[in-house]
Structure 1
């Protein structure tokens, strides 16, 4: 089903114009916003807030069991806490089962708190006593899922935990400056510092793929992927939380299809072609050097070019007990074979041996749940956690000495996964299974896609231009501060980094309609030629189109001119407000000295608006837009609630209509010319030009 939250490139995140910016005046919600922002500050060291220290010291599990809806959750967590959890200072990864179990237990402790005050006290206690990574992850998931924290804005993860977003040389410079800073401050020196941040390929480029690091390592794109997995954790669902209204299995497929399609468009701008396809039996050609280090100083593992994935390598070295990840090489091939068999057979076996048909209206949702291995999978044990074991295998991290001393690869964190080219190569394999499934569905004919009485007569776009400009991020959480500095908020360190952007533009769609009627309008952006300049028919290239815009429009009888601009597409999100600005804004609103406005996109999650367009090149790289106008069909399962000012997970409130995600590219067409022949669609070719920001500024000045 078509989701209004499907962010462009990722096909998933965003909000429609029915969710405008909101001014928050509720003092209770403002206080919660302030509370939670404080919980995210300097997470790698104990908090020095006096009230935090007092709450943490006085918190007693055994005396608070009655304050949890599910008391067994609290008793269980207290039991494992006494037994021993992942120590503070150690690296956390949700892709290690022992770590994940602890994160889930803490999430449930937060989620089942009977009221907000109990949740807050529990979070403050965990802030001081639980492993930093486990705490940060579980708290984030709980905040976006608890009903009483709905509306709270999470701060930018790249400012909360900069280690996963900036190269180690940037973190090192921040630390060095901090060591010099306090003395300078005593002498009346400056209290702010800016560091120029480069991408990983600046120092070491193991493979030409890393020349795309401005895209794969962008803080906005990586935080988008992180927040998607906060709102839709692969381990959450079933009885714990109902995702049926959001069709999370279909969403899983569409998110990754859009990510890979957008990545492919960027590859074309840089002279690359199709995402490489790898084979487990053949050495992996694409190496990766992440240039990252953990907060405890441990470097991220690197993968050399032509890395062997054979089982003998992965079992080599020390390992503990019956380490399940030591056999990832075998497991991923077993799981993939079983998934292929299910697609070919047309059904899935449940643990009880019953058959679940795949070729039904809910088929792709079932398949998505199966491949993601979430709690809604029909048979988690048999079809397995494919992506979990694949990340261990492709990440090339070595066997740990024990479950609490691990060195996960970039692929084993949502914050850093998109940085590694192997991510796109693996999920290309995954998407091929979905495409194999789609190929078995009935193909669309002209009659299926046509909209009788409606014709798109023309489409016009302004000149499309991209450029790089500076973006500033707060690095203060990457350093350690004294109690005086913690409470005084004295240390200010920023990273300045070039990020892709585009000039604002407008576009028009001209539509003739034989009557007044409501319609769904979809716009896709995709390639016209491959890397060799060869034209590709859309029917053969539909998987490489990204959703550019989608909206519902009231057509009038006769000629209609629909005008949109680059700021309207709800599939994209503006740059997130920095932590400091969020905090100062909420303080001002609480004190009556300002306003706290929530952008609906920022309150949820979305793909960065900066990357609305691929980079293009100086001479202009030619892409094409596909516009299709379809009859409006209301979403059948939608649950509306007037109090929602942005889509709430599990509500189904984010769906615009009842079409499948990616329609009409969600299945094959009867013959190659179907997309070209239907009158209610239009194909518009446009070149995207790339310029230096100085040239754009000079050109703008000359026209004033």
Structure 2
């Protein structure tokens, strides 16, 4: 079957999932249902699905394993059609997406945008309701219906300043897609494909989100976050203004002052016990496996073991003992307004990977987990000069080139989201919502290098950025600043002997998702092609750098060159096409392409208070400013 035909069939499986026909159901199929699907359907069809909920995830795993094991594409498609008609709608979308990303006969197929599949997870219901009113009233021009997105709060809430960031469609879509590429329940021995360094990547990707959020707070004149760590601590409130069209109920609202409470499947005491056991492992330097044996946390594998432990993924070395701190935390916080279910309310947005980043508590929760990981990192020795250096290679100068050198301009940009692919408005034609997001001008790096060797060298170029000043305008001590370093890019470059320069455009960054095509474009045949497959995983390009402020917020830009021959994970060329954002998403089903610890060299304590004292000849820093232009 041609790639375009496969692409169109896949799109049809996702069409109008938000508002499926009421006549669908397993009962309609009877004896015609494939026997492989008989055990499915335990999760009610019209409730909010949560990948963090143990029972939901168990059924989702069973479904995606069945779909991945289908004998050919036709078998896979028929199974998907049947499953769509009776399993939980959101669970189906999750499992189908995981299967598409991991089936060999789906290479080249691009997943439809989750924002278009489930607009109700991204667009306030006031906006969707307004679109329904216009559609039912016969409104809309020749280009269809266009409505403006509604705001979810006002300045009475201090956290409202960052609503534009937390509720950004791109970062919430990124979080959803990351958990598709790295499902917590992925069983390597069943799937035949190992997720290399998955636990470490769980740590690093979330650490980067926390670092970015803290600097966005500084850009808005706010304090950096205080980690959530006290189980009896009142939480800030959040009202998402989202309504699940699958069940017709709104996502739960959490009033200010609510606390974590026991839920049906887990108690706060369980969470406390798991935390203490995790910290015991960090402080003792080893974990206890399922057989009661001691497993040392080595410098090479320790963070990977701990990441799997916290999530807790299938790779957890002892889930029965160390529990599932991360996942159940999401569930408990999402249930704070109705912990025992007496009011039959929907959970809050923390239950869903595509909505969780909207909630301020998400970042405080993950900053607390990052504190635990950093406690482990503090037990490792600081890097020596020998470990940091690239002999005979020197970085002479670094310039960030934009309209003004070393100044990046940011601004508001208007965009549109097609909602009619996911929602049946009872009218043919386009129905879009219009919204604004922060964007930045294109920029590039010019790195001037001196190679004193007699032959060319291959280098790994690492580019980081962190705010220079804290909330009070004081310079941030280096050991605090290192944890705020956001990775902007990482790539391979050839350095000839003598003086040369390396140029790199911001649009080529190794952390951003490459351009996603809309469903309309995919229907029209604009597929990525078998040699241009993307995972749809990666940070949105428009938020590559923080917003900055009106004065020009000062950042330290740091470039490090290391020896590619020492860094490369394998000697063979990668065959993986799904590697559009390797820094955050890895190279799907292959080894993570960089042997060094993620975040190197800022992942460990630094014994210097100033950046200039830390830098070796193969590193260079320069001050850059990010200037926010309101209009």
Query: Same fold by TM-score, threshold 0.5 exceeded?
Result: yes
Report what 2:259 is aligned to: 308
Of 352, 367, 370 in structure 2, the residue corresponding to residue 428 of structure 1 is 367
Equivalent residues in 2 for 1:1-16 (5 A)?
none
Instruction: Say whether 1:32 aligns with 2:40.
Output: no
Instruction: Say whether 1:658 aligns with 2:595.
Output: yes
Report what 2:604 is aligned to: 667
Counting matched residue pairs gives 614
Report what 2:207 is aligned to: 257
Report what 2:271 is aligned to: 332
Instruction: Say whether 1:636 aligns with 2:573.
Output: no
Normalised to the residue count of structure 1, the TM-score between the two structures is 0.82
What is the alpha-carbon distance in structure 1 between the residues aligned to residue 443 and residue 586 of structure 2? 32
- 1:646 Cα shift? 4.2
User: 1:309-343 deviations in whole A, cap 9, x for unaligned?
Assistant: 3x4xx46xxxxxxx214x2x222211111100011
What is the alpha-carbon distance in structure 1 between the residues aligned to residue 193 and residue 482 of structure 2? 28
Report what 1:701 is aligned to: none
> Aligned in 2, Cα 1:549/1:180: closer, same or farther, shift over 3 Å?
same
- 1:235 Cα shift? 1.8
> Aligned in 2, Cα 1:303/1:599: closer, same or farther, shift over 3 Å?
farther
Q: Any unmatched runs of 5+ in structure 2?
A: 402-406
Report what 1:157 is aligned to: 114
Report what 1:612 is aligned to: 544
> Aligned in 2, Cα 1:209/1:575: closer, same or farther, shift over 3 Å?
farther
> Aligned in 2, Cα 1:340/1:606: closer, same or farther, shift over 3 Å?
same
After TM superposition, the runs of 4+ consecutive aligned structure 1 residues lying more than 6 A away are 647-650
What is the alpha-carbon distance in structure 1 between the residues aligned to residue 97 and residue 271 of structure 2? 30
What is the alpha-carbon distance in structure 2 between the residues aligned to residue 639 and residue 138 of structure 1? 31
3-state secondary structure, aligned to 2:431 = strand
Report what 2:411 is aligned to: 467
> Aligned in 2, Cα 1:120/1:679: closer, same or farther, shift over 3 Å?
same
What is the alpha-carbon distance in structure 1 between the residues aligned to residue 400 and residue 143 of structure 2? 46
Equivalent residues in 2 for 1:33-182 (5 A)?
33-46=7-20, 60-61=32-33, 74=36, 77-81=37-41, 85-181=42-138
3-state secondary structure, aligned to 1:572 = coil
Structure 1 stretch 515-524 or stretch 394-403: which is displaced more? 394-403
What is the alpha-carbon distance in structure 2 between the residues aligned to residue 651 and residue 359 of structure 1? 25
**1:521 and 1:551 in contact (8 A); partners too:** yes
What is the alpha-carbon distance in structure 1 between the residues aligned to residue 55 and residue 589 of structure 2? 32
What is the alpha-carbon distance in structure 2 between the residues aligned to residue 285 and residue 657 of structure 1? 39
Equivalent residues in 2 for 1:589-608 (5 A)?
600=532, 602-608=534-540
Report what 1:388 is aligned to: 327
**1:639 and 1:651 in contact (8 A); partners too:** no
**1:574 and 1:610 in contact (8 A); partners too:** no
> Aligned in 2, Cα 1:122/1:285: closer, same or farther, shift over 3 Å?
closer
> Aligned in 2, Cα 1:134/1:638: closer, same or farther, shift over 3 Å?
farther
Instruction: Say whether 1:370 aligns with 2:309.
Output: yes
Report what 1:458 is aligned to: 397
**2:194 and 2:590 in contact (8 A); partners too:** no
What is the alpha-carbon distance in structure 2 between the residues aligned to residue 40 and residue 332 of structure 1? 37
Report what 1:207 is aligned to: 157
- 1:649 Cα shift? 7.6
Report what 1:415 is aligned to: 354
> Aligned in 2, Cα 1:235/1:576: closer, same or farther, shift over 3 Å?
same
What is the alpha-carbon distance in structure 1 between the residues aligned to residue 87 and residue 276 of structure 2? 40
**1:524 and 1:626 in contact (8 A); partners too:** yes
> Aligned in 2, Cα 1:34/1:429: closer, same or farther, shift over 3 Å?
same
- 1:641 Cα shift? 5.0
Instruction: Say whether 1:228 aligns with 2:178.
Output: yes
Report what 2:404 is aligned to: none
Of 671, 675, 679 in structure 1, the residue corresponding to residue 617 of structure 2 is 679
Report what 1:562 is aligned to: 502
What is the alpha-carbon distance in structure 2 between the residues aligned to residue 123 and residue 649 of structure 1? 27
Root-mean-square deviation (Å): 2.8
User: 1:533-573 deviations in whole A, cap 9, x for unaligned?
Assistant: 10123233211111011111111111111122222213212
3-state secondary structure, aligned to 2:327 = helix
Report what 1:525 is aligned to: 465
- 1:231 Cα shift? 0.9
Report what 1:497 is aligned to: 435
Point out which structure has higher relative CO (alpha carbons under 8 A, 6+ apart): 1
- 1:106 Cα shift? 1.8
Structure 1 stretch 391-400 or stretch 667-676: which is displaced more? 667-676
